[in-house]
Structure formats: C-alpha cells, structure tokens
C-alpha cells in the first residue's frame, strides 16, 4: 500500500467515524474506512502498512486532572517523531462507547490497541476478536476482567497497596498523636463503580480499617472520580450526618477531595491539620501538594499517570520480537502535609 503522507507536525484531525466525533488521529492525515461497529464483524479496511506504527488508544474520558495528565503523556509519547500514527479515542466516561471503539479500531486494522478500561467487565469478546485479528493489546492504567492471554500486558498501579498505604498512614498519624485508641468515624468517597482503581483502593482501605475495631465507616459512597460529584455527594453526607460525627474523610482521588472540601467549606466545617477532620486522598496532583502545604489536605497517595513511556517501550520490544512481562507496576510514594514542600517543585502533573 502506498505510504501515506504524514503531516510533519501533530494535528488533531477529526475523523468522521460511525460513532461520530469519537476518534482523533494525532500526527497524520490518514484516511479512515470506518465500518458499522458491532459484535465480532470483519472489515475490508486496508491493513496499515507504512513506516509508522498505527496505535489505537482508547482513553476513559476527561473525569479528572489525573486523566488529563495521562492523556497528555500519551499524546507527547506516541508522536510521528517517535514513529507512530496515533488514533486517539475519548471514551467520554462511557464503557459501551469504549468497547464499540475497540471493534472499530480492529476493523481499521490498527497495528496495536492500547485500552484504559473505565470498568473491568465487558471486554472478553472484543479482546478475543483483537487476538483473532493478530492485533496486540496493551491494557494501560485500569485493569480488565478478562483472560490475561488476550492481551500482551497490563501497565499501572497497585491500587490495593495504595489503599493499604493510606490506611497505614492514618494509623501512624493517630499513634504519633496518642489517638490510636480513639473511636473514629470514617467517610469514604469511592471512585467509579467497577473501575479497578476504585475496587483496589477500597479493598486495601477496608482490609486495614477492619484491623481496628475502634474505626467505623460512617458511610462510603461513589462520586465517580469527579470534582462535581465529590461536592454533591459530600453535601448530601453533611445533610445526612451530624458534622461532629465525621472524623476522617478519605477520597479515592484528589478531584473528589477538592469537591468535598468545597462542600465542607460551604457547611462551615474546618478540615485538615489541627482540626477535627483528617483528610486523605489519592493521585498526588500538583494542586494536592499546594493543599498539603496549606495543611488542608493531610495525605495524597501517589498514583503515577505518566505511564505512556512504558507502553511505548512494550511496543518497541514487541516490534523487536522480544518477550514482554505480563504486568508493569509504576513507582509510587505517599506524600503528606509534612513532606509536600520538599517535593512540590519536582512534580510533573
């Protein structure tokens, strides 16, 4: 097939797909033969055959600042300069949309699929088709409930350990302040139901919390990793429970915590260091470091979004005929109001 002419600069080209406005190609003027997306169909779309590796990347959406950092990292890594033709798909926080896009990208015969699944379930059929079509799949960030033989590897964070580390910090803080025997009521803001990040963090939190009979979960509610829902859910919690009954707020990402902070401020509540409300979050965004320096946020357990380089390396290894590991964990730390000032200048997202 004639080599396609590629634009020398990265350009977001809207691609009119069956799913309309879902797909953007980054870095090239490719012609797309989109086909009706459905279950297990084949396509006459031409096989990509160029000097560039065509990668279909299906992202969750734009639910958080963490997500934006992750998306930008993929855009900055999968460039034509690095030898890629990137077809970016915004899943718009809709897992059905993600699966349909995967069928379409398979029909377009991309060279690789990278998927960040909003939720773990619903991927078996389309991953099976990708395997039948000899399209290697990399699962990035969140995990899937599917046979690991259906994808090359999973790259992401140990979410359960993140939850365990958050709860262990809480105990160490209480012990340091002579409060380890206090009865505590804990509010948990959970991420998206069915998302491996929420499942893992919740599992780790509950496992550690259950070790302390004086710790009580007042309520645990889903706020979908978004700031707006963090505010709305926390507002309702502050209506349902007396403010003085809340001793700890744990949010499964920073954006929901930012939203919860807005609700607590509107209710006239103080929170953070030297108050009655301990605040614990996940992601370790730059804004979280600013709030930790102010003492409003006491902990943010890091979850590193800058993982596109690992996906790039896996593809390069596969292209070179090398074997790759089935799991790649990213390096992560726990940051607190006590060490935020030391690290904030190094933060990249």
Burial of 316 (0-12, 13-18, 19+ CB in 10 A): middle
Q: What is the per-residue binding string for ligand GZL in 9-28, x denoting contact by CB under 6 A?
A: --------------------
Q: Could you say whether residue 258 binds ligand GZL (CB under 6 A)?
A: no
Q: Could you say whether residue 103 binds ligand GZL (CB under 6 A)?
A: no
Among 48, 67, 97, 296, binds ligand GZL (CB under 6 A): 67
Residues in the chain: 349
* Cβ proximity to ligand GZL, 90 vs 141, nearer residue: 141
Nearest distance from C-beta of residue 283 to ligand GZL, angstroms: 5
* Cβ proximity to ligand GZL, 63 vs 229, nearer residue: 63
* Cβ proximity to ligand GZL, 34 vs 253, nearer residue: 253
Q: Could you say whether residue 90 binds ligand GZL (CB under 6 A)?
A: no
Nearest distance from C-beta of residue 63 to ligand GZL, angstroms: 5
Burial of 243 (0-12, 13-18, 19+ CB in 10 A): middle
Distance CA 264, CA 259 (A): 9
Q: Could you say whether residue 303 binds ligand GZL (CB under 6 A)?
A: yes
Sign of CA dihedral 325, 326, 330, 332: negative
Q: Could you say whether residue 253 binds ligand GZL (CB under 6 A)?
A: yes
Stretch 118-137 residues interacting with ligand GZL (CB under 6 A): none
Q: Could you say whether residue 162 binds ligand GZL (CB under 6 A)?
A: no
Cβ partners under 8 Å of residue 254, min gap 6:
64, 65, 66, 281, 282, 283, 284, 285, 287, 288, 297, 300
Q: Could you say whether residue 140 binds ligand GZL (CB under 6 A)?
A: no
Q: Which is nearest to 196 in space by CA: 299, 135, 123?
A: 123
Residue 140 CA to chain centroid, in angstroms?
9
From the list 28-36, 58-66, 82-90, 257-265, the region that binds ligand GZL by CB under 6 A is 58-66
The CA radius of gyration of the chain, in Å to the nearest whole number, is 22
Q: Give the up-direction half-sphere exposure of residue 336: CA atoms within 13 A in the CB hemisphere.
A: 12
Nearest distance from C-beta of residue 100 to ligand GZL, angstroms: 21
- # binding residues, ligand GZL (CB under 6 A): 15
Distance CA 228, CA 258 (A): 9
Among 17, 63, 155, 302, binds ligand GZL (CB under 6 A): 63
Query: Residue 54 — φ and ψ, nearest 5°?
Result: -90, 120
DSSP codes, 268-317: T---STTSS-EEEEEE--HHHHHHHHHTS--EEEE-----HHHHHHHHHH
Sign of CA dihedral 58, 62, 64, 70: positive
Q: Which is nearest to 99 in space by CA: 75, 72, 121?
A: 121
Stretch 172-191 residues interacting with ligand GZL (CB under 6 A): none
* Cβ proximity to ligand GZL, 28 vs 291, nearer residue: 291
* Cβ proximity to ligand GZL, 6 vs 349, nearer residue: 349
* Cβ proximity to ligand GZL, 271 vs 282, nearer residue: 282
Q: Could you say whether residue 152 binds ligand GZL (CB under 6 A)?
A: no
* Cβ proximity to ligand GZL, 142 vs 296, nearer residue: 142
From the list 39-47, 61-69, 170-178, 313-321, the region that binds ligand GZL by CB under 6 A is 61-69
Q: Could you say whether residue 247 binds ligand GZL (CB under 6 A)?
A: no
Q: Could you say whether residue 157 binds ligand GZL (CB under 6 A)?
A: yes
Burial of 75 (0-12, 13-18, 19+ CB in 10 A): middle
Secondary structure of residue 218 in the 3-state scheme: strand
Q: Could you say whether residue 71 binds ligand GZL (CB under 6 A)?
A: no
Residues that bind ligand GZL (CB under 6 A): 63-64, 66-67, 141-142, 156-157, 197, 225, 253, 255, 282-283, 303
């Amino acid at each position: 097939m004639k080599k396609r002419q590629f634009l020398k600069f990265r350009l977001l080209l809207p691609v009119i797909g069956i799913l309309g406005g879902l797909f953007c190609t980054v870095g090239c003027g490719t012609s797309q033969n989109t086909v009706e997306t459905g279950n297990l169909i084949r396509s006459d779309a031409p096989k990509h055959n160029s000097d560039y590796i065509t990668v279909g990347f299906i992202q969750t959406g734009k639910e958080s600042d963490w997500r934006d950092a992750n998306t930008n990292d993929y855009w900055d890594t999968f460039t034509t300069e690095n030898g890629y033709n990137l077809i970016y798909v915004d899943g718009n926080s809709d897992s059905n949309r993600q699966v349909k896009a995967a069928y379409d990208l398979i029909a377009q015969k991309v060279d690789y699929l990278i998927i960040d699944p909003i939720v773990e379930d619903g991927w078996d059929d389309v991953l099976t088709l990708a395997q039948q079509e000899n399209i290697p799949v990399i699962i990035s960030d969140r995990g899937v409930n599917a046979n690991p033989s259906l994808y090359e590897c999973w790259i992401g964070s140990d979410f359960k350990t993140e939850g365990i580390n958050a709860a262990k910090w809480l105990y160490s803080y209480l012990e340091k302040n002579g409060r380890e025997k206090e009865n505590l009521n804990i509010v948990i803001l959970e991420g998206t139901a069915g998302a491996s990040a929420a499942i893992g963090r919740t599992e780790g939190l509950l496992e550690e919390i259950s070790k302390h009979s004086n710790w009580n979960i007042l309520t645990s509610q889903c706020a979908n990793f978004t700031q707006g829902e963090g505010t709305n859910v926390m507002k309702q919690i502050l209506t349902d429970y007396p403010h003085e009954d809340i001793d700890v707020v744990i949010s499964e990402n920073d954006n929901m915590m930012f939203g919860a902070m807005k609700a607590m401020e509107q209710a006239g509540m103080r929170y953070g260091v030297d108050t009655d409300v301990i605040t614990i979050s996940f992601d370790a965004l730059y804004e979280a470091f600013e709030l930790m320096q102010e003492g409003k946020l006491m902990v943010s357990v890091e979850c590193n979004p800058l993982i596109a380089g690992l996906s790039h390396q896996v593809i390069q290894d596969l292209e070179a005929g090398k074997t790759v590991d089935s799991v790649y964990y990213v390096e992560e730390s726990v940051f607190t109001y006590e060490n935020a000032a030391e690290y904030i200048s190094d933060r990249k997202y």
